[in-house]
Structure 1
Amino acid sequence: METEAAGPAPISIPGSTRTDTGAETSDQASRPHIITFGDEPGAGKLRSPRGVAVSPDNKIWVADRSKSHLQVYSMEGAYLYQFPQATGLGYPSKEPYDVSIDKDGHLWVLMIGYPASPDSVVQVSRAGHLKANFDLPDTVPRGGVRGMAVGLHNDHVFVTWSDGYSRGGVQAFTPDGTLLWGVGPRMKTPMFVAVDGKGDIFVSDFGTHFIYKYDEAGRYVMRFGGPGVGGGELRYPEGICVDSSGHIMVVDQDNQRVVMYTGRGVYVRHIAARAEYPSGVAVGPGGQLVVTNKNTITVFTGY
């Protein structure tokens, strides 16, 4: 695990591989810390992390495609356990691709089953009990992608799909798997999806470099971002989430940063991701920014 300060001088942080022998100044103490972990040998080692969520008790839940369970870490980077610890996610032959937490604290996990079985969504209680599951109507081909999010005000499940090349969309389901609606003609390679407190849906489109916004009924509202390297422009957006202030946080993979927008798509600022292949993103209850990378997790204790 590697820990550093955002400023020029690293400071002492418990569990860090990097320390400063001098006294910590008040200016240093006020700077956000940056912690990177997940590549240490052992059970907590990551190989293909993708989706990530943070629970109200500051636990980090990671969907790693190389694992049959979720990986759970503390906000300080300590590996805690795999989840569920006993039963698994019910589909040992499928890969966990994304994870979301509903208003009751239950975990929802997107499981990819290509090429032999359908993709599935699983609901698991924090105690590790399987509560619900349903198969998705279409299985993405190898090379295709998906993302998932659960709305906090109605528990609707939103899942993206893509053939990996030129077409894709997003679908809305009830918690029992009933399809409510599906949209997609405007999108090319949708990746991740997020839902704000008003029920608006935001989809990152890797192929067009835009973020697409829909209302809770699936009606197209707008798009923002667009190809480029500066300001609110994007190059291959991936992970997306909504913070407690309603800001939209987007992983701008090729530009190696996380870009912040208002809910109306206005660029606010960006944060350097400090990773070569940033992918998923989540925010913690204490204002932390959590980003999955190629085989690690990076936590910004403030952003």
Structure 2
Amino acid sequence: MVQKLKERKDLLSESQQIHNETFEEIQTERDRVLAEVNELSAACDRAEQELQQGWVEFLGQQTTLTEVVGKYRGKAAPTPVQTQPAVFQPTDTPVPVLGHVRVQSLPSAPIPAAPASSTNAARGRGDCHGYQRQGEHQSHDQRVTFGGEGSGPGQFILPYGVTVSDEGEIFVADFGNQIIQVFTMQGAFVRQFPTVVSGGEKMEPEDVAMDGEGNLWVVGNLSVVTKPADFAVKYSKQGRRLRKFDLQKTEWDRGVAMDTRRNHILITQTICGGGHGKVLVYRPDGTLVRTVGQQQGMKEPWYITVDREGNIFVSDYYNKCVFVYNEDGQFLFQFGGKGRGEGRLKKPRGICTDRAGNIIVADMGNRRVEMFDKTGRFLKHITTDMTEPEAVAMAPQGQLVVTDVEKNTVSIFPTY
């Protein structure tokens, strides 16, 4: 029996080969469709901007929008991908021969769309992985890693914050290059846009979050020494600046999160010199609603997230812990504490939650990403071999996206 098992161990490789071939066809078609959607979306954004500027004659002219829409009007739907499931056929003989794998042809079916989700802090769904693009690294745990240091498309200089849209696009705040870069869930570069504040001035983006309408909120600071300032800026997914408001200048980095239930923007702040931290809650017009965290001795908060119930989670770099508040800003509990043991934190940075309410924390000091339940009880290490894990975000199908500022890379972990 052992000998026969060794002889037929290629069963797994046969099925894996079939899986890879089918998935590559599906992914190629998806990327093509996504590029077309991006082109249409960009044209719509330009048209909306022109209409907002009062161009009444716009509708009566041959515009970029009509050209792009005309290009796709009447175009056939995406070609369904022919899938061929692998079927195992056992052999019923006196000799213990396992059987073989054959491909069963079925009628083609369209690519299923990803299910809708709520906020970036509450995404946890099924996953499909195994496909690897050229130039990507994929280890035994099936993670996909992309990037590297540089200023070209798909390269980073200090990738800080990260968020993922409902459509499965990854938005990375590239601090050093002063841009937001956008990728597919397979690590393919899609586009980028500069984090312009006004008048051509660009800020260094420290974190990024997505609101309930699919727009981005980015926090950062001007790199101009003679004109230091901090801002919160709202962009469309194509990079058009929609709104901004000023923040108190601080030398410590900020995090941003969205409470989509109340349409509030939550931004962390540390007062330099005094080591006093807090969370500022704003309306989209820049009106301050409340402050959170001062009574608990918050020192150096950076990253922040909000779960499906509106609970607020803040990682405090100085206190080596995570503070938890309810939707009204009332303190609930804290967990972590300095150390290397299970459930302890050394330099907590990025934080997010999944659909089940579990809390994921990037612990830069211990070079690992950890999972806690909704009460702060340690569950497991998601990974322990990253150099400097920085920010984390949940993707539409339950994958975890993690930035590494030391290697200037982004990694996508499959469902866990």
Q: TM-score normalized by structure 1?
A: 0.85
- The amino acid of 2:264's aligned partner reads H
Looking at secondary structure, tell me which structure has more helix per residue: 2
| Deviation at residue 117 of structure 1 after TM alignment | 3.3
Residue 409 of structure 2 corresponds to residue 300 of structure 1: no
Rg (Cα) greater in structure: 2
Distance 1:112 1:270 in 2: 33
1:212 is aligned to 2:323: yes
Residue 179 of structure 2, aligned match among 36, 48, 69: 69
Task: Please give the alpha-carbon distance, in whole angstroms, between the structure 2 residues aligned to 1:212 and 1:220.
Answer: 8
User: Residue 173 in 1 paired to residue 282 in 2?
Assistant: yes
The 3 A distance-change label for structure 1 pair 273 and 123 is farther
> What amino acid does structure 1 have at the position aligned with 2:201?
P
- Listed as ranges, the gaps of 5+ residues in structure 1 are 1-10, 21-27
User: 2: CA distance between counterparts of 1:132 and 1:57?
Assistant: 23
CA RMSD across the alignment:
2.4
Contact 1:145–1:164 (Cα < 8 Å) also in 2: no
Match of 2:162 in 1: 52
Does residue 120 of structure 1 match 2:231? yes
Residues 73 and 18 (structure 1 numbering): CA distance in 2 closer, same or farther, change over 3 Å?
Answer: closer
In the alignment, structure 2 segments of 5+ residues that lack a partner are 1-19, 21-129
- Counterparts in 2 of 1:74-223, with a 5 A limit? 74-83=184-193, 88=196, 90=198, 92-113=201-222, 116-136=227-247, 138-141=248-251, 144-163=252-271, 166-185=275-294, 186-223=297-334
Q: Aligned partners of 2:154 and 2:196: how far apart in 1?
A: 16
> TM-score scaled by structure 2?
0.63
- How far residue 266 of structure 1 moved from its aligned partner, in angstroms, is 1.9
AA in 1 matched with 2:263: D
**Contact 2:298-2:316 at 8 Å conserved across structures:** yes
Range with greater deviation from structure 2 (230-239 or 184-193):
184-193
Deviation at 1:17, TM superposition (A): 4.5
Q: Measure, in 2, the Cα distance between the counterparts of 1:256 and 1:238.
A: 11
Question: What percentage of residue pairs aligned between the two structures are identical?
Answer: 38
Number of the residue aligned with 2:133: 15
CA contact (8 A) 1:32 1:302 kept: no
1:16-31 pair list within 5 angstroms: 16-17=134-135
Q: How many Å apart are 1:16 and its aligned residue? A: 4.1
Secondary structure at the aligned position of 2:365 is classed as coil
The size of the alignment, in residue pairs, is 279
Which residue does the alignment assign to 1:279? Answer: 390
CA distance in 1, matches of 2:219, 2:175: 11
Cα contact 1:192–1:203 (8 A) shared by 2 = yes
Aligned residues of 2:352 and 2:360 also touching (Cα < 8 A): yes
Alpha-carbon distance between aligned partners in 2 of 1:203 and 1:267, rounded to the nearest angstrom: 17
Q: CA–CA distance in 2 between the matches of 1:169 and 1:249?
A: 21
State how far apart, in whole Å, the 2-side matches of 1:155 and 1:204 are: 22
Higher normalized strand content (fraction of residues): 1
> In structure 1, what residue type is equivalent to 2:286?
G
